């Protein structure tokens, strides 16, 4: 099978490309290298079944040619990371909304199946219980750009589901919850690689806010496996699935775990959101998925606990 990965030189995209090549597929990657890196695909860049196109998904002529000749599309290209989104709100909305519109419109032209990578940010400030796919969402004011990413991905989901309902385009949506692992960097605000780098360098481990906010971390290998299985399952078409780990940890606990596992003398310091991101920033207090739906359909179950996930990131940065 011929597959296209948008954002294939990114953290998740590069792992997905490796797995699909291992499975015998021919892989086409398009990436503008804004947050993606050639170093992420250096192990596979000379593979005979890999084709790299350095361009933007907004280039419709290039995308039209690519989508015409492939079978499946894994749409991962997006502006990512809290810091990136706060610093570049225009680019965030542009690539996330226009880019997905281009992918879906051209996919529909040739009726090619599409996986849409969405996000746990969709749920907003919802904290009452573990988050299920049909839960209501709670968003902040439009005057706080923190919510631009969540709203742009919401529109992506609405558009994808509309193409399925109206145009009968086969689509699958996966809401990813804090995917982590080797190759992820802290440059754009990703918390685990930031903590690990700081600890290994003996720098303060900076926790934003009071650190009581909780997250659920999933190793990238588990996420990639789930994405591929969802695309291979006809019953997943036209539906939305949480892809994550239902085990929670507070950011304070994560910082302590990283400090202990690295044997670091780094101090854990707390920094206000205002100092980190500017005035008016809002965070999500809790983000834990209900994964019953994906478990029942494809038997998904995260294989790695927090300690093994953290160790894989430590090993990566030590290399």
**Catalytic residue annotation:** 149
Cβ neighbours for 56, distance < 8 A, ≥ 6 positions apart: 32, 95, 99
- Integer angstrom CA distances of residue 183 from 16, 49, 163, 226: 13, 22, 33, 19
Task: Supply the DSSP string of 290-304, one letter for each residue.
Answer: --HHHHHHH------
Distance from C-alpha of 309 to C-alpha of 52, rounded to nearest angstrom? 29
**Helices and strands: H and E segment counts in the chain:** 12, 13
Half-sphere exposure in the Cβ direction for 179 (13 Å, CA):
28
* Residues 142 and 282 sit within 8 Å (Cβ to Cβ): no
Rounded (10°) CA dihedral 73, 74, 80, 85? 30
Per-residue DSSP letter, 238? T
Own/partner pairs, 263-268, CB within 8 angstroms, 24+ separation: 264/199, 264/200, 264/202, 264/205, 265/202, 266/198, 266/199, 266/202, 266/203, 266/204, 266/205, 267/204, 267/205, 268/204, 268/205, 268/207
Distance from C-alpha of 236 to C-alpha of 228, rounded to nearest angstrom? 11
Distance from C-alpha of 241 to C-alpha of 150, rounded to nearest angstrom? 16
* Residues 29 and 51 sit within 8 Å (Cβ to Cβ): yes
Reading the block at residue 71, the tokens are: 């079978």
């Amino acid at each position: 099978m011929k597959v296209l990965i948008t954002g294939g030189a990114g953290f998740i995209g590069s792992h997905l490309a490796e797995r699909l090549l291992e499975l015998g597929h021919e892989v086409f990657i398009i990436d503008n290298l804004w947050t993606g890196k050639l170093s992420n695909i250096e192990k596979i860049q000379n593979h005979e079944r890999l084709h790299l196109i350095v361009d933007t998904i907004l280039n419709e002529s290039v995308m039209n040619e690519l989508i015409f000749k492939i079978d499946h599309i894994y749409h991962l290209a997006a502006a990512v990371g809290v810091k990136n989104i706060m610093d570049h709100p225009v680019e965030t909305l542009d690539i996330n909304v226009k880019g997905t519109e281009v992918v879906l419109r051209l996919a529909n032209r040739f009726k090619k199946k599409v996986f849409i990578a969405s996000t746990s940010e969709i749920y907003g400030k919802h904290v009452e219980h573990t988050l299920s796919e049909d839960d209501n969402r709670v968003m902040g004011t439009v005057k706080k750009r923190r919510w631009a990413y969540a709203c742009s991905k919401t529109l992506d989901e609405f558009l994808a589901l509309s193409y399925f309902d109206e145009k009968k385009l086969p689509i699958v949506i996966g809401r990813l919850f804090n995917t982590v692992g080797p190759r992820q960097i802290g440059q754009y605000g990703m918390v685990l690689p930031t903590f690990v780098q700081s600890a290994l360098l003996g720098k303060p481990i900076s926790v934003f806010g009071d650190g009581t906010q909780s997250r659920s971390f999933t190793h990238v290998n588990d996420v990639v496996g789930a994405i591929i299985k969802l695309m291979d399952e006809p019953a997943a078409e036209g539906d939305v699935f949480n892809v994550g780990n239902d085990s929670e940890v507070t950011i304070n606990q994560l910082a302590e775990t990283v400090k202990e596992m690295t044997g670091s003398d780094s101090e854990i310091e707390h920094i206000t959101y205002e100092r980190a991101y500017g005035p008016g920033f809002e965070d999500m207090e809790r983000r834990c998925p209900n994964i019953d739906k994906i478990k029942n359909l494809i038997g998904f179950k995260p294989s790695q606990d927090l300690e093994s996930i953290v160790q894989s990131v430590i090993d990566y940065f030590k290399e």
